[in-house]
Structure 1
Amino acid sequence: MHSPRTSILALAATGALIAAVATGAAPAAAASATTLKAAATADGRYFGTALTDGNLGDSTLLGVADAQFDMVTPGNEMKWDTTEPSNGSYNFGPGDQIVSYASGHGMRVRGHNLVWQNQLPSWVSSLPSNQVQGAMEAHITAEVTHYKGEVYSWDVVNEPFNGDGSFVADAFYNAMGSGYIADALRTAHAADPNAKLYLNDYNIEGENAKSDAMYNLAQSLLAQGVPLGGIGFESHFIVGQVPSDMQANMQRFANLGLDVAVTELDDRIQLPASSAALQQQATDYGNVVKDCLAVSRCVGVSQWGVGDPDSWIPGTFPGWGAATMFDQNYQPKPSFYAALAALGGSSSGGGGGTTGALHAVGAGKCLDDPNSTTTAGTQMQIWDCSGQPNQTWTHNSSNELTLTVGGTTDCLDANAQGTSPGTKVIIWPCNGQANQQWNINSNGTVTGVQSGLCLDVTGASTADGALAELWTCNGGSNQQWTLN
């Protein structure tokens, strides 16, 4: 895949919370983990993302990547058109940038990829058939040797199958037949015997003609003693369409003695994304993580990209997007909380911190004290995040949410101690009463201790000035909050 990743033709067949995280080697207990990588590590797995060299200058994106992920897949920087644009002329600079960044931030690297029909320089396809094998072996040897000891695994052959289970008739297949795959794996293994070697493809997540072909290939390669180590399930889904037999399908590959991994996860939604679609996406993400955890040889999950702004989906599928766990402001969506909960983690503080902006996930805005007023009884609203004191909340040991403006500290308050849906959420001088006490929950909700109702943006509005109220908890994105 690339960013935008694999060819549109290949895919036509298929139809960011920044929590503080410890970087020490000892894994935290899953129950106390507040990040994806910490919770995954506690389960003996990883949680990864894809980065491109263009992402390395985006501090917001990298803040989420550093906090949440411990495996990196280069989006484009290790593909043939970058690494060997002309015959025998190598360019590893872009890939080196990704490897260097990963190494400096405690992340491992999935090498992606060595042999693929797309992002392939024209000189390869123009070679006489009797020169293709030599060019392929030279390319694999040079690249894997260059990164020897720095890359955890390689997608050696990417997307070898058509949807019907036939082999893609690319330059390699046309020159060598299906034997090119065994040759590629053996060549990579000779260059770095310690790297885990994968075949990677999309639409093989459920049992179908394509996954059957991959299974039969894997079985054949292993019978020949070919050093195949794992199968990558790209997992580019449409919301609500995660195969119900994904776990069973991964398990049959694991039963061959192979590692399996979810390598390029995203879950695209028709825009604009509704609350119902975001909740379905959360269900999908949770199910994918659970499927992985249920297969002992599933080593980890990687999302393709960090958040919606750097996702390849809108550029390839017009009208679709919102495909990742982090929204346009790199704030976590319901899918983040579902993935974290599936891993056994807890989003303490709804977003990791005890002081900061209280982000409305569904709107991508912040809980705001209008015009920085200190007038008791003023109803709170959402507004574009500004980092100003009138948007800076502290969740203290008394479960109060306090706001200090112009030297005056007030508390977030359920108006008149109301316990019915529609009760205004206001500021009021702190008095220690239950209607000023709030639980910030691991599922991303903020609930009133007295009422049990959820802090809610009226009408699920995403507009500046939309008012905050209490409402029956319903799982909507307008009831999802992060404090950081």
Structure 2
Amino acid sequence: MKMKKLTLIVVLGFCAVSCKKLETKSEFVDSSDKNIQIQNVTYSPNNPLLKAANDDVMIGAAINENRFNNSLYTNLAGNQYNSITAENEMKFANTELTRGNFTYGGDQVVLFAQNHGIHRVHGHNLIWYTSNPSWLANATTSGMTTDQTYRSIMKNHIRNLIFHYATFKNPDGSFRIQSWDVVNEAMDDNGNLRSCIWTQKISGEAYTYIKLAFQYARQAAIDAGQPDLKLFYNDFGHEYSKTKSNAIANLVNRLQNEPLIGGKKIIDGVGLQMHTSYTRQVFENGNGLANVEYGIQTMKNTGLKVHISELDIRGDNTNINNSTAIGGQNYRYFNIPQLYRKIVPVNQRWGITLWNIGDGDSSQGPNNTATLYDTNYNKKSMYQQFYEGLNEGLQI
């Protein structure tokens, strides 16, 4: 399939800065979602902002407060996006270094969003199998069993973070933290729940700790006055392991069927991290291999909000000028947002979040050239491909 196919764009009005487009829908979208008129800004090398590419797709970035002393970084982070995620600052190891004593480094990220008029922050994350403080391995509580101790620790940790970040408000009174990754990466590539501190310490089946985390999070949100806080399960591998993608779908569907708390389901959405590479298969070709299309479609079918939550696309780290790799990155940066728009109805979209800003900030390392900007924060060819994948009529 070619990266771009000629499509008919219906011009609804003329404006020197922007134009309206008819967003093409697919057979996967309910008829009620068809023919939605959206005001987008077509790509221009003079003033293209990712957040202006498509009003129906929020575009976020994970950012790190350690980069805030670089004005090139902060100018891009503050202007290009309408959603922000803290890369590391809200994780367990960084918020509860000693038991019961909380530090909130993520405040700097939330304040950054506030100071730049960004009204949505996505919390990442509450419970994970790794990035935990050393004390968590052998915690005890007088008069409590191990199971009771770790349930108490989990509940206390979740409640503290949700309550604390519920205090940050937008000028209109809405909550700045609108969503959380409640549980992160609980599944291995074979579709099994991985063994971790929580499965080892909390009694019952491996699923029990995940259910508890979401129950604690929903109750905390209600008690903090934020009953509509969106609660996500977040994981990687949807696009390269059908077994894992199917298992994640089964997991989140099971969570959807748990008893309501305060009239609310305990889960609202699922995150596909999408740390992928220039060689990963994009489309379902009937050959049984996992691919991006299958992963997005499988998560859409759960009926939950769908968040591409940590997007980056690795190149060839042995040759950053490899034209094949660059072409593969361009192809994927165009087609991933196209697939997201094709498959996921507007009312299920939580948006696409890119994992940090430039190659020098990337968790993949600078030689993988995985982001939209080079180490000097110059736009790469992938930038325009991603923008146009968001903005142009569907071509797949």
With normalisation by structure 2, the TM-score equals 0.75
Question: Residues of 2 paired with 1:195 and 1:57: CA distance?
Answer: 31
Which runs of structure 2 are paired with 1:35-434 in the superposition (5 Å)? 35-40=49-54, 42=55, 44-92=56-104, 94-107=105-118, 108-128=120-140, 129-130=146-147, 131-148=149-166, 149-176=175-202, 177-192=206-221, 193-206=227-240, 208-225=242-259, 226-244=265-283, 245-271=291-317, 272-273=319-320, 274-294=322-342, 295-296=344-345, 297-314=348-365, 320-344=367-391
* 1:50 Cα deviation after fit: 0.9
Whole-angstrom CA distance in 1 between matches of 2:301 and 2:336:
19
Q: Alpha-carbon deviations, 1:415-461, whole Å to 9, x = none?
A: xxxxxxxxxxxxxxxxxxxxxxxxxxxxxxxxxxxxxxxxxxxxxxx
For 2:338 and 2:161, locate their aligned partners in 1 and report how far apart those are by CA, in whole Å.
35
Contact 1:240/1:284 (<8 A) preserved: no
If the length of structure 1 is used for normalisation, what is the TM-score? Answer: 0.62
Q: Which moved more, 1:62-71 or 1:27-36?
A: 27-36
CA distance in 2 between counterparts of 1:343 and 1:221 reads 31
* Deviation at residue 105 of structure 1 after TM alignment: 1.1
Deviation, structure 1 residue 342: 1.1
1:53–1:332 Cα change, 3 Å: same
Alignment coverage as a number of residue pairs: 315
Q: Which has the higher contact order (CA 8 A, sep 6+)?
A: 2
Q: Secondary structure at the match of 1:301?
A: strand
Q: Is residue 116–residue 160 contact of structure 1 (8 Å, CA) maintained in 2?
A: yes
**Residues 203 and 211 of structure 1 are in contact (CA less than 8 Å); yes or no, is this contact kept in structure 2?**
yes
Report if the CA contact (8 A) 2:362-2:371 is conserved.
yes
Deviations 1:395-427 (A, max 9, x none): xxxxxxxxxxxxxxxxxxxxxxxxxxxxxxxxx
Tell me if structure 2 keeps the 8 A contact 1:269–1:323: yes
User: 1:116-156 CA deviation, whole Å, 9 max, x = no partner?
Assistant: 01110121121253211110010000001101133111000
Partners of 1:252 and 1:209 in 2: CA distance? 11
- Distance change (3 Å), C-alpha of 1:345 and 1:97: farther
Segments of structure 2 that go 5 or more residues without pairing to the other structure are 1-16, 19-37, 141-145, 167-174, 222-226, 260-264, 284-290
Q: State whether residues 240 and 280 of structure 2, in contact with CA within 8 Å, keep that contact through their aligned partners in structure 1.
A: no
Deviation at 1:213, TM superposition (A): 1.2
Task: Give, in angstroms, the shift of residue 287 of structure 1.
Answer: 1.2
| Amino acid in structure 2 at the alignment position of 1:236 | H
Q: Which structure 1 segments of 5+ residues have no match? A: 1-20, 347-484
Identity of paired residues, percent?
A: 30
CA contact 2:258–2:266 (8 Å) conserved in 1: no
Matching residue's letter, 2:277: I
Q: Distance in 1 between matches of 2:274 and 2:356?
A: 13
The separation in 1 between residues aligned to 2:281 and 2:381, in whole angstroms, is 17
Contact 1:153 1:195 in 2 (8 A): yes
The separation in 1 between residues aligned to 2:245 and 2:157, in whole angstroms, is 28
CA radius of gyration, larger in:
1
Moved segments of 4+, more than 6 Å: none
